[in-house]
Amino acid sequence: MVSAAGPLRVGIVGYGGAGRGIHARLVREAGHVVTAVVVRSPERRAQAVEDWPGVRLHDDLAALVADRAAYDVVVVASPTALHVEHATALVRAGVPVVVDKPLALRTEDARAVVDLAGTAGVPLTVFQNRRWDPEQLTLRAVLARGDLGTVHTFERRWERWRPVPQQRWKENDPVGGGLLLDLGPHLVDSATQLFGPVVAVSAELRSHTTPTEDDVFLVLHHAPGADGQVVVSRLWAGSVVGAPGPRTRVLGTAGAYVVTTFENDASPFEALDEGAPEGSEGWLAHGRERTPVPRAPGGHADFYRAVGDWLLRDGPVPVDPRDAVRTAEVLDAARRSAAQGCRVEV
């Protein structure tokens, strides 16, 4: 546990769309401070100094590691293909680490990083911020109340109408890019957090406009619950989808929970939300009948509040890194399923 005096001091590796646009923003919202950044771009260096006066800038990870007194934890927000290299170096230096998802490209690499951190006794967690999505928190409350009866099907879509792809490594890197590695970890983690471990996977992966897959469909078969019921999760991710949504649909013996749209992405289904009361998140549906559901409190900054409790006050780890290993197993199985055209056991 690091010193509990003052806010948590955070170092960030990478200050682009993820490092600045997501992590640094949430660090600030949680009441912590960025004190060191690995960044080379002159433009991004200037942004870091403007955002965090007094921040220490470094050209590479080795220089950051050498400046150990400047931070309490380091966030790895570099491109996906570098996560294992950067996380491993930080763990070996004894630095507590938050790794953006996915932890690694392959299961064996994810497991190696987690095992190394466990053996060394170095705190390690993975940024699965979508556990703190309002729809995920609200759905948890719906399930806890038993509003849906016995659930048999979980559906979630992360779809966009983006016929002209963005020119970023996520769209063009054949190793670390593609929607399976970008959005797949969130979709799989959401499903497993709600309905438990996965025992089999079927998948279809296609590329329409990018060198990597921009069209993903996964079917996850979860292990039977205590009542013997098996939940099947159907998960979509797509960039060339002219009619995105409905975002979430959960089916049970007593009704359904439906979320029509997600984060203001344009969708023809948003018309269904006309008249939805302020502070609601989705609908309970029974045929034509639908009832608004009150939004559960919480948000993404709660991840970094949990990081502060974890490191400053010996609280629980925000995300067990072994969960990231299990997610990697599912994604690896999805690649095999798509290549072989068959269901793959996990």
70 close to 35: Cβ distance less than 8 angstroms: yes
What is the pLDDT at residue 180? 96
What is the pLDDT at residue 5? 61
Angle between the N-to-C axes of helices 321-340 and 107-120, in degrees from 0 to 180, rounded to the nearest 10: 170
What is the pLDDT at residue 266? 83
What is the pLDDT at residue 3? 55
pTM above 0.85, yes or no: yes
- Ranges of the chain with pLDDT below 70: 1-5
| Domains identified in the chain and CATH numbers | 9-130+301-315 (3.40.50.720), 131-298+333-338 (3.30.360.10)
Nearest Cα to Cα of residue 156 among 217, 71, 235: 235
What is the pLDDT at residue 175? 83
Tokens 């919480």 sit at which residue? 298
Cα of 184 vs its chain's centroid, Å: 8
What is the pLDDT at residue 169? 81
